[in-house]
């Protein structure tokens, strides 16, 4: 039995507007939960940025979510995103979405299929290659 991805709407880290998961349900969606102080995020996110620059954005939506409830200072997440991230970046309402997806640490990567089901879930020790292979199975 496939697990339906919990729906959410969060503001972009720039504060300009909000993102609603339902808007992209017919695409493969890759969510990455992260914090600015996390060494594993510092290794994972640059790889995701490379992937973001090469994927077909008609088929794949990549979104990062800064877990503000796990930041020492919310401003640090904003500064990190402005400095290092080109992909759409949201800011969690504390830990609400992070907890909704039952994340155990950062980074956590969730891959959602075209039907809105959770296809795969990767914790902080997952290899980037495993994430790419799981994504490739859907596109």
Q: What is the DSSP string of 19-66?
A: EEGGGGTTSEEEEEEE-TT-HHHHHHHHHHHHHHHHS-TTTEEEEEEE
Give yes or no for residue 1 having a pLDDT over 90.
no
Write the pLDDT tens digit of every residue in 43-81. 999 999 999 999 999 999 999 999 999 999 999 999 999
Contacts of 53 by beta carbon, 8 Å cutoff, 6+ apart: 86
Predicted pLDDT of residue 16: 83
**If we measure between CA atoms, which residue out of 17, 41, 52, 30 comes closest to residue 137?**
30
Write the pLDDT tens digit of every residue in 14-27. 888 999 999 999 99
> Token pair of 123, please?
């914790």
Share the mean pLDDT of the chain. Answer: 96
**Number of alpha carbons in the 13 Å side-chain half-sphere of residue 126:** 25
- pTM for this structure? 0.96
């Amino acid at each position: 039995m496939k697990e339906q991805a919990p729906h959410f709407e969060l503001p972009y880290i720039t504060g300009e507007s909000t993102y609603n998961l339902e808007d992209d349900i017919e695409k493969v969606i890759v969510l990455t939960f992260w914090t600015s102080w996390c060494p594993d995020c510092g290794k994972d996110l640059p790889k995701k940025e490379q992937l973001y620059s090469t994927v077909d954005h008609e088929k794949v939506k990549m979104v990062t979510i800064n877990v503000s409830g796990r930041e020492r200072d919310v401003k640090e997440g904003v500064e990190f995103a402005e400095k290092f991230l080109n992909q759409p970046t949201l800011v969690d309402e504390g830990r609400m979405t992070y907890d909704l997806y039952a994340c155990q640490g950062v980074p956590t990567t969730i891959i959602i299929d075209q039907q809105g089901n959770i296809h795969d879930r990767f914790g902080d020790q997952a290899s980037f290659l495993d994430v790419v292979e799981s994504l490739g199975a859907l596109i």
